[in-house]
Structure 1
Amino acid sequence: MSSPHSHSPAATSIAVTALSYAWPDGTGVFDGLQVAFGPGRAGLIGVNGSGKSTLLKLIAGELKPVEGTVRVSGEIGYLPQNVTLDTAFRVDEALGIAGIRTALHAIEAGDVREENFTVVGDDWDVEERASALLGELGLGHIDLDRTIGEVSGGESVLLRLAALLLRRPDVLLLDEPTNNLDLHARQRLYAAVDGWSGVMVVVSHDRELLDRVDQIADLRGGEVVWYGGNLSAYEEALAAEQEAAERMVRVAESDLKKQKRELADAQVKLARRKRYGQKMWDSKREPKIVMGARKRAAQVSAGKHRIMHEEKLTEAKERLDEAVEAVRDDDEIRVDLPYTAVPPGRSVLTLRELRLAYGARVDGEFELRGPERIALIGRNGAGKTTLLRTVAGELAAVEGEATPHVPLRFLPQRLDVLDDEATVAENVARFAPDATNNRIRARLARFLFKGARADQRAATLSGGERFRATLAALMLAEPAPQLLMLDEPTNNLDMASVRQLTSALESYEGALIVASHDLPFLESIGVTRWLLLEDGVLQDTPAP
């Protein structure tokens, strides 16, 4: 672990000083946060709800701090997590160069008014730069004069990124930029990140992206701790830290036991002394005044002795608490549920001559059997979500049939399964109306909603908690799902939540279909079959 960053004032591009921020309902996010970002690429990581996106918004000026200051040297470019573009916009408007192009074309047509030259400034090659940049980002097919129309989510992200890069900002803030990007688009974004020479702060759970940064800023408990190197180097350093922290817990536990033993031994000795003193008093072997003085001295000594051991015990407890605090809580979800198992060979899903809304299709017959684990991959806009929604019964097929043969559940990208006004326990009860409250709570504990956490309203949950609650509601539903379909499940999940999801899916014994662009995640869940949806057709494919 490196020491917290210390840049010279000239090199510091972002300086956050004594920053405090709370949500309108009074929930605190930061209290006196200090952090500085200098030249280079920093990966900002932390558990869901730790305030990563909020910090980027505060730096970008989209939110105002309650107290403290944010100073940024130079122009900021900010790519938010959820990008939406007006479909009526022309591409040059989305890129922010429409005014310059109009002035350029006017000058070329002979209009030499001063205001046209003022608008163009030094940007005479803006059209060439824009076209070249679109080509680099895989958007060469999109003409500058075209209206955006129904571009896919991934193309929206890349267009916004192109707009930022054209402005050449000094500081680039990226919030989960690879969400909704297909494998090809991700490679384009990685190349743009590799070629970036200014200041970059990127919030992401994407391993491949975070392995391209120069340093990791770990936001935890309202403070930032810096680690030199990329995500892999951070994980190695953290593992060593955690091993040392766990050793300290063992030492502190041993010390606590020793102090408890010593206190008990001291109490036994004091009790013996007290009995001996009483015996001497009763037998009146010494003058009363001598015995009285001895008794008072013994009481003072006993009091000091007891206080010393109690202080040592208190100190040992505090050391143990500190040691335990340093060990991260990486609880894992357990999903060893009855009735989800699917025997090998059992027919789970049949798709036959299927024509989907928006054009995709499944030719012939497709059969899913037994506890297969299928990765559904393909470019943005290929129809993966449409296929899953059709199988789930949310969309009608244009032709053909999609027939599930077992109970199934579908986890959508938007996580809109929960009722925001209901608690986590109440949401689960909606899916399992016959289950007792005790049974629901016992099951929820397996999804890390223990005690009062099960009584949180869904609206108050962080992204990772909401994901866990949604997964719990679907998995604990009755009848238990023997086919689970997940659409981009790792979007917006922090590293710990992705690990929890992976462990949950490892212990799930049913069939699985996962649509995702996150290759490391797909490899980690033991995919047995890869399906590619390309040019509107679903087909088996080798692992990428």
Structure 2
Amino acid sequence: MLTLQNVSYTHPNKELLFDNINLSLSRPGKAALVGNNGAGKSTLLKIIAGALHPSSGQVRADAKPYFVPQVFGQFNGLTVAQALQIEDKLRSLREILEGNVTEENLALLNDDWTIEERCQQALSHWQLEGLDLAQQMQSLSGGQKTRVFLAGIAIHQPNLVLLDEPSNHLDTAGRQLLYGYMQSTSNTLLVVSHDRKLLNLLDMVFELSKRGITGYGGNYDFYREQKQIEGQALQEDVKSKEKALRKAREVERDALERQHKLDARGKKKQAKAGVPKIVMNTLRNSAENSTSKLKGVHAEKTGAITQELQALRNELPDQDKMKFGFDHAALHKGKILVKATEINYGYEGLPLWRSPLSFQITSGERIALKGLNGSGKTTLIKIILGEHAPKAGSIYRADLAAVYIDQDYSLIDNRLTVYAQAQQFNYSALQEHEVKIRLDRFLFSKDDWDKPCSALSGGEKMRLSLCCLTIRNHAPDVIILDEPTNNLDIQNIEILTAAVNAYQGTLLVVSHDQYFLEQINIERTIELSQPL
């Protein structure tokens, strides 16, 4: 059983992250923790894991949590055994087997005589056969580090497991192993992830937002359906409030018109009756006071409705605001853009691919580029872009305009501000206010325009990349996305999905996120063979 009661957390700079969080997860529950970037999902997991202390409130768990983090840089100076916190136990086992049977060694081993065997089995299951537990963590790739910590689940055999973006660095094979674990385990799970296929394997969803935590009793698809229903109800509330505001303004206008007519009629009567000037002034002041009071009453009503309407509008989802808005006129569907015949690439005289590649890319296609880590996906992209020439075979490449959005968002110049970066793509000489309108549409408000791009998160850099393409206006022939959903929260993935689906040109995507590939209507796959 995991229980959070009135948990709050304030950053060291005194900024409140979340307040009075209450959550209950019974064994063997499997739950997702979702929310926008900056909502505090990773921080909340660290608090539950004991790596951070809440500013107030209590965390209770009937089992010690095992935590698979999202970032591994803090372990680079450690060995695999040290990162998994099993070095002392393994050393004690070796010393006992060598005859050094001390109370200290027995206490450290704690009757865990199968620790070495479990390590070998767990590492082998996660495709880390032969990995030396004395190897430095910094020598491993991101995917290998993730697999090490996932193997730690079978090694430590916890009842409560916390996972922070566990599929981020995993290739397709690694993700399949992770999905299998999620389905078969009897562990209690709390998972932060943007991998919607993974989220659909869980029994419930907790949404963390400024309003606190809201629980939904179903998987991610169920959560999305409920959010859509809530969104539709919110849209109806907005429409109803807009109608009420229009009605209130009409009533205000009619009332003031009636008042003006009454005042004018009264003036005429008074003038005809020869009312003294001093009395006329008194009556005029009285009429003006009445009009002023009437205006005040109606202004209060319309002001209250306007505030309620703005609050409702602030809750509307953002992804519908963000469209490419390209001029697609220059795109010719079906035109051959790239044709490769028996191509290969080589490093140190050795061919990169076991089998040479032959393929054709035509305008308007949506293609996934798949292969294991190290299979040469990035190399093939550079060949398609004309940055590399194949060492064998031939390739035809039409005169095409391509945009490559890589994992490091190289499209963004970290030396520039957000506004200056947008201006780099202002080829059609849009006015300053038009550029800022488009930035605002992609959630970059006035407060963000002078912010350095180096300070942006991955999701913000993705949004700014998309915004730059809209400012550019003319649709590129090809957009290439390299693992675009890595490190994005669900909100930004939805934004990316909506924007990509509005694009009519050729799309080439490298991604292990099968759900994302389905959502953007990928038509076929170029599969790379195992590298030599």
Partner of 1:68: 56
Q: Distance in 2 between matches of 1:359 and 1:99?
A: 44
Partner of 2:503: 508
- Out of 326, 332, 343, the position equivalent to 1:336 is 326
Q: Distance in 2 between matches of 1:208 and 1:92?
A: 31
| The 10-residue stretch of structure 1 (51-60 or 390-399) with the greater mean CA deviation from structure 2 | 390-399
User: 1:51, CA displacement in angstroms?
Assistant: 3.2
Q: Distance in 2 between matches of 1:510 and 1:104?
A: 61
| The 10-residue stretch of structure 1 (499-508 or 13-22) with the greater mean CA deviation from structure 2 | 13-22
| TM norm structure 1 | 0.82
- Out of 19, 27, 51, the position equivalent to 1:32 is 19
Listed one character per residue, the Cα deviations across residues 29-80 of structure 1 (whole Å, up to 9, x for unaligned) are 6153533343333322122333333433454455566x43563535333222
SS in 1 for 2:11: strand
- Out of 521, 529, 532, the position equivalent to 1:526 is 521
Q: Is 2:120 the partner of 1:125?
A: no
- Out of 291, 299, 312, the position equivalent to 1:310 is 299
SS in 2 for 1:13: strand
User: 1:530, CA displacement in angstroms?
Assistant: 0.9
Q: Distance in 1 between matches of 2:217 and 2:198?
A: 16
Listed one character per residue, the Cα deviations across residues 294-342 of structure 1 (whole Å, up to 9, x for unaligned) are 8787666655544433332223323323332343333232252457624
| The 10-residue stretch of structure 1 (497-506 or 336-345) with the greater mean CA deviation from structure 2 | 336-345
Contact 2:6 2:20 in 1 (8 A): yes
Q: Distance in 2 between matches of 1:123 and 1:333?
A: 57
Contact 1:84 1:156 in 2 (8 A): no
Q: Which amino acid aligns with 2:335?
A: G
Q: Distance in 2 between matches of 1:386 and 1:168?
A: 40
Q: Distance in 2 between matches of 1:80 and 1:143?
A: 20
Partner of 2:412: 418
Partner of 1:176: 165
Partner of 1:13: 3
User: 1:514, CA displacement in angstroms?
Assistant: 0.9
| Aligned pairs for 1:448-487 within 5 A | 448=442, 452=446, 453-473=448-468, 481-487=476-482
User: 1:88, CA displacement in angstroms?
Assistant: 9.4
Q: Distance in 1 between matches of 2:440 and 2:294?
A: 46
The 3 A distance-change label for structure 1 pair 222 and 350 is farther
Q: Distance in 1 between matches of 2:38 and 2:126?
A: 31
- Out of 149, 162, 186, the position equivalent to 2:151 is 162
The 3 A distance-change label for structure 1 pair 434 and 329 is closer
Q: Is 2:374 the partner of 1:381?
A: yes
| The 10-residue stretch of structure 1 (358-367 or 234-243) with the greater mean CA deviation from structure 2 | 358-367
Q: Distance in 1 between matches of 2:76 and 2:47?
A: 28
User: 1:94, CA displacement in angstroms?
Assistant: 4.8
The 3 A distance-change label for structure 1 pair 480 and 317 is closer
| The 10-residue stretch of structure 1 (400-409 or 216-225) with the greater mean CA deviation from structure 2 | 400-409
| Aligned pairs for 1:398-437 within 5 A | 404-405=397-398, 406-430=400-424, 432=425, 436=429
Q: Distance in 1 between matches of 2:382 and 2:127?
A: 28
Q: Which amino acid aligns with 1:104?
A: L
Aligned residue pairs, count: 521
| Aligned pairs for 1:35-54 within 5 A | 35-39=22-26, 40-54=29-43
Listed one character per residue, the Cα deviations across residues 272-307 of structure 1 (whole Å, up to 9, x for unaligned) are 222233233323478999999987876666555444
Contact 2:411 2:465 in 1 (8 A): yes
Q: Distance in 2 between matches of 1:145 and 1:287?
A: 105
Q: Which amino acid aligns with 2:363?
A: G
Partner of 1:346: 336
Contact 1:277 1:295 in 2 (8 A): no
| The 10-residue stretch of structure 1 (374-383 or 196-205) with the greater mean CA deviation from structure 2 | 196-205
Q: Which amino acid aligns with 2:7?
A: T
Contact 1:29 1:222 in 2 (8 A): no
Q: Distance in 2 between matches of 1:75 and 1:335?
A: 51
The 3 A distance-change label for structure 1 pair 299 and 511 is closer
Contact 2:49 2:65 in 1 (8 A): yes
SS in 1 for 2:190: strand
Q: Which amino acid aligns with 1:32?
A: D
Q: Is 2:69 the partner of 1:80?
A: yes
User: 1:263, CA displacement in angstroms?
Assistant: 1.2
Partner of 1:360: 352
Q: Is 2:275 the partner of 1:283?
A: no
The 3 A distance-change label for structure 1 pair 89 and 412 is same
| TM norm structure 2 | 0.83
| The 10-residue stretch of structure 1 (216-225 or 266-275) with the greater mean CA deviation from structure 2 | 216-225
Q: Distance in 2 between matches of 1:95 and 1:310?
A: 65
Contact 1:41 1:201 in 2 (8 A): yes
Structure 1 spans left out of the alignment, 5+ residues = 1-10, 538-544
Listed one character per residue, the Cα deviations across residues 425-472 of structure 1 (whole Å, up to 9, x for unaligned) are 323444x58653638827955972666355432123232221122344
Listed one character per residue, the Cα deviations across residues 71-93 of structure 1 (whole Å, up to 9, x for unaligned) are 35353332222335978976545
Partner of 1:185: 174
Q: Distance in 2 between matches of 1:124 and 1:198?
A: 22
Contact 2:368 2:508 in 1 (8 A): yes
User: 1:120, CA displacement in angstroms?
Assistant: 0.6
Partner of 1:438: 431
Listed one character per residue, the Cα deviations across residues 242-270 of structure 1 (whole Å, up to 9, x for unaligned) are 11111111221121112111111211221
Q: Distance in 1 between matches of 2:291 and 2:10?
A: 49
- Out of 254, 260, 265, the position equivalent to 2:254 is 265
Contact 1:179 1:491 in 2 (8 A): yes
Partner of 2:191: 202
Listed one character per residue, the Cα deviations across residues 148-192 of structure 1 (whole Å, up to 9, x for unaligned) are 796543232121122245334454332211112222221221232
Contact 1:58 1:70 in 2 (8 A): no
State the superposition RMSD in angstroms: 3.8
User: 1:516, CA displacement in angstroms?
Assistant: 0.8
Contact 2:442 2:467 in 1 (8 A): no
Q: Distance in 2 between matches of 1:383 and 1:448?
A: 33
User: 1:131, CA displacement in angstroms?
Assistant: 3.2
The 3 A distance-change label for structure 1 pair 251 and 70 is same
User: 1:392, CA displacement in angstroms?
Assistant: 4.3
Q: Distance in 2 between matches of 1:315 and 1:195?
A: 53
Q: Which amino acid aligns with 2:155?
A: L
Partner of 1:96: 85
The 3 A distance-change label for structure 1 pair 443 and 13 is closer
Contact 2:10 2:17 in 1 (8 A): yes
Structure 2 spans left out of the alignment, 5+ residues = none
User: 1:386, CA displacement in angstroms?
Assistant: 3.7
The 3 A distance-change label for structure 1 pair 68 and 401 is farther
Partner of 1:540: none
| The 10-residue stretch of structure 1 (70-79 or 264-273) with the greater mean CA deviation from structure 2 | 70-79
Q: Is 2:233 the partner of 1:244?
A: yes
Contact 1:348 1:370 in 2 (8 A): no
SS in 2 for 1:172: strand
Contact 2:428 2:472 in 1 (8 A): no
Contact 2:6 2:58 in 1 (8 A): yes
Q: Which amino acid aligns with 1:38?
A: L
